[in-house]
Amino acid sequence: MQRYTVTPLRYFLIPLLACTFLAMPLKAQINCDTSFTAEQLVDSFLLGQGIRAGNITFTGQKVGIAYFRNETNAVGIENGILLSTGSVFNANGPNNTPYITTNFMDPNVKKRPKGDRDLNKICRSVTYDVSILEFDFIPFDNLISFSYVFGSEEYPEYVGSRYNDVFGFIIDGEKLNNKNLAVIPKTLLPVTINTINFKENEGFYIDNDYFKKVVLKKNLPGQKKNKKPVYTFSDTYEINKKKLKKLNQDLVNSVQYDGMTVLLTASAYVVPYKKYHMKIAIGDVGDPQYDSGVFLEQGSFTSRKDPGQTRFKEYADQRNTMNFDSIFGLKPILTQVTKDSLAGEAADYERFSVTNINFETDSYSIPDTSKDELQSLTGYLKEHPRFKCELYGYTDNQGSKKYNQRLSESRANAVMSFLVAKGVPPNKLEIAGYNFENPIADNTNERGRAMNRRVEIILVEE
């Protein structure tokens, strides 16, 4: 039996190593890359034939969206875009726990954000940890469509509950008024935890869960600490080996989510060459715990001519006569110097955001090999005052949780003390210790344990 006490985080893990499990072949993994901008993700990885897009924006945390690749095609999509209510890296398999969670907000704060209004309307509740990708687009033909898969850690325990995680493909424009395209085929029901599962519309559901006697409690305040409630999660479960053998092993090894939909298609009739707005949004419902994600197939957002549409009328090809830059109000192209400087800054940000400081067993002394990296980080923080740094300490699973909690905090404190001694203002640093939770490697061998004895460095732009 294990008991986890999860301290909520406003911004959470970005380690690239979270997409690499030593025990599994690389081809089984969902490899995530968060380095792309929203514009690059839509233009390069979402758009297919017959579509032009502009005014592309993303609202959410940096780790809430990524380009992904899964060579086994276990989710029904080999590559594309992943939007998540938690760190996209947490979607990566194997599925070795009945839950995984990232909080983009602090559940101890009484005043919470209201989430997204459109998602709140769809699920008739309050949403949290929202990730939103939006853009204007012009279709060249009368039928648009794209392919997607929805998955969640809310399955199967919270089916039928108020924790009804939701997403939407909301289109607005000519003859369409904020219409949600993320619906169950041949119905108007939105795709959520409660509408597609092992009880409802099971033909669209894929089970990826082999745990039994799972006792999970969410949003239940425990003992108060510093006048704030501590949120405790009970994680007691057993493995159903018989059921495990019946599951799709590629899916079990690829995806952490306990349940998913089959490959679905969203579509709508539109007026060719008119400007529309698309909002792709996903959010936790009821609380910010337990991640959900939506996979968008690369190149699947297309338009095509469908003469079978009711009252269909032929239309002329206008793509060579339209001034798309004027329609979208695109900004002038950056000079090469500006591009290079931005690329250099982005590279530095990404480098420090994926740096882990590793430690010897039972030690919180910073290795000499890591001090040069921390010295570089010191310079970066001084030169970029708009950033603050969050330091998360971890241990391997050897020893008691109480001992490892102190050790993880000591490791985070050691890194903070080093940075402060080098001139980083203390108010730019935050620390937390998470003992042996959230391992990034296998704790059953020394190589994996060495990787788990770490302090993660997270840069956050204020």
Residue among 89, 69, 123 nearest 12 (CA): 89
Report strand pairing: 429-433 vs 387-393. Answer: parallel
Q: Tens digit of pLDDT for each residue in 165-211?
A: 888 999 998 888 889 999 998 888 889 888 999 989 999 999 988 88
Pairing of strands 228-239, 259-261: unpaired
The pLDDT of residue 114: 54
Instruction: Provide, for the chain, the percentages of residues in helix, strand and coil under a 3-state DSSP scheme, each rounded to the nearest 5.
Output: 25, 30, 45
Most confident region among 217-221, 275-279, 388-392 by mean pLDDT: 275-279
Distance CA 225, CA 241 (A): 40
Of 74-88, 94-108, 285-299, least confident by mean pLDDT is 94-108
Q: Of 22-26, 127-131, 368-372, which gets the smallest average pLDDT? A: 22-26
> How high does pLDDT run on average in the chain?
80
Which two three-digit tokens encode residue 318?
Answer: 């206008």
Q: Is 295 left (phi over 0), alpha (psi -120 to 50) or beta?
A: beta
% of the chain beyond a pLDDT of 90: 37
Q: pLDDT (tens digit, 9 = 90+) per residue, 242-271?
A: 999 999 898 998 898 999 999 999 999 999
Q: Mean pLDDT throughout 295-314?
A: 93
Do the Cβ atoms of 281 and 168 come closer than 8 Å? yes
pLDDT at res. 338: 47
Task: Answer whether 410's CB lies under 8 Å from 364's CB.
Answer: yes
Average pLDDT over residues 157-169: 84
**CA proximity to 142, closest of 304, 278, 277:** 304
Confidence of residue 344 (pLDDT cuts 50, 70, 90): low
C-beta separation of 125 from 287 below 8 A: no
What are the tokens at 359?
Answer: 């430690």
More confident residue, 300 or 24: 300
Distance CA 301, CA 280 (A): 12
All domains of the chain in start order, with CATH = 2-328 (no CATH), 336-461 (3.30.1330.60)
Nearest alpha carbon to residue 122 among 179, 69, 50, 59: 179
Instruction: List, for residues 42-75, the tens digit of each pLDDT value.
Output: 999 999 999 999 999 999 888 899 999 987 888 8
Q: Beta-carbon neighbour count of residue 286 at 10 Å? A: 20
**pLDDT tens by residue, 381-424:** 888 888 888 888 999 999 999 999 999 999 999 999 999 999 99
Supply the pTM of this predicted model: 0.63
